[in-house]
Amino acid sequence: MKLCGIKKTYGDRITLALPDLELEAGKITAVLGESGAGKTTLLNIVSGMTSHEGTVEGAGRTSYLFQDPMLLPHLTVEGNLRFVLEKGTWGEISAMLARVGLAGREASRPRELSGGERQRVALARAFLYPHDTLLMDEPFSSLGLSLKKSLLSLTRELWRERRQTVLFVTHDVREALCLAHRAIVLRRGTLCGDFNLGEGERDFFAPQPMEEALYLALTQDGPAE
């Protein structure tokens, strides 16, 4: 995927101005940054949800995983999946629900699910929706540590089955190290760091060699090494 001359302004204020950037297809790229760094704006630009200057090439069809599961309360779990799917067979839906650990919960309402289960439904929805690029906007930020770890592993497993391009917005360095192959760091709408994280698949709780460098890039002024 190529991002060429991406710029987003609100009135006179520039909220995002990126140099030309190429994201490797079939890999997970973490987008790190503090609040207001322009991370979500970048996702919205890639998904075509917001107007912008510059071009996005090769994103194809996008799917989205939000911070809030955004499940419709009046629909069942199956109804929520069908709401976004143009076509989806019962078999596909129940198989995906089984993959995310919700086998037999097709008829449950969102109010009957725990916070983690709701996020699993959102994960199922994002992976079931036909896409070339998956956009994830801090989907695990409101979860407890052990739940976060298990959902990160689940995301990794689901990604491994089809290996789509993923843009994963987070402000948690650990999450990025656990899931992503590459991390780009945004600060005040500009790119201030680009890190190759190798093959990822790190243990969420183990100390990471790249952790300090990423924290420095996130918190220090000026471009990172």
Partner 1 sequence: MKKNLIFSALAIVAMWLIWIAAYFIVRNDYLLPSFWATCRELGRQLISAAFWRAFGGTLLRTFAAFAAALVLAVALASCSVLSDAVRAFFAPIVSVLRTVPTMAVILILLLWTSHAVAPVLVSLLVLFPALYAAMLAALDEAKENYGALCRAFKVGVSRKIFKLYLPAAAPPVLAQAGSILSMGLKITVSGEVLAQTFHSLGGAMQDAQLGLEIPRLFALTLLVVLLGFLLEGGCLLLSKCIVRWRE
Cα distances (Å, whole numbers) of residue 30 to 98, 173, 220:
27, 9, 19
Would you count residue 188 as binding partner 1 (CB under 8 A)? no
Return the number of the residue (110 or 193) whose C-beta is nearest partner 1: 110
Query: What is the Cα–Cα distance from 108 to 34, expressed in whole angstroms?
Result: 36
Return the number of the residue (70 or 147) whose C-beta is nearest partner 1: 70
Would you count residue 62 as binding partner 1 (CB under 8 A)? yes
Would you count residue 49 as binding partner 1 (CB under 8 A)? yes
How close are the terminal C-alpha atoms of the chain, in Å? 24
> CB of 214: closest distance to partner 1 in angstroms?
27
192: how many CB neighbours lie within 10 A of its CB?
A: 19
Would you count residue 129 as binding partner 1 (CB under 8 A)? yes
> Of 80, 65, 68, nearest to 126 (Cα)?
65
Return the number of the residue (72 or 95) whose C-beta is nearest partner 1: 72
Would you count residue 72 as binding partner 1 (CB under 8 A)? yes
> CB of 48: closest distance to partner 1 in angstroms?
9
Return the number of the residue (149 or 155) whose C-beta is nearest partner 1: 155
Q: Write down the H helix ranges in 74-204.
A: 77-84, 90-99, 115-128, 145-162, 173-179
Query: What is the Cα–Cα distance from 34 to 208, expressed in whole angstroms?
Result: 20
Binding site for partner 1 (CB under 8 A): 47, 49, 62-64, 66, 70, 72-75, 79, 83-84, 109, 111, 129, 135
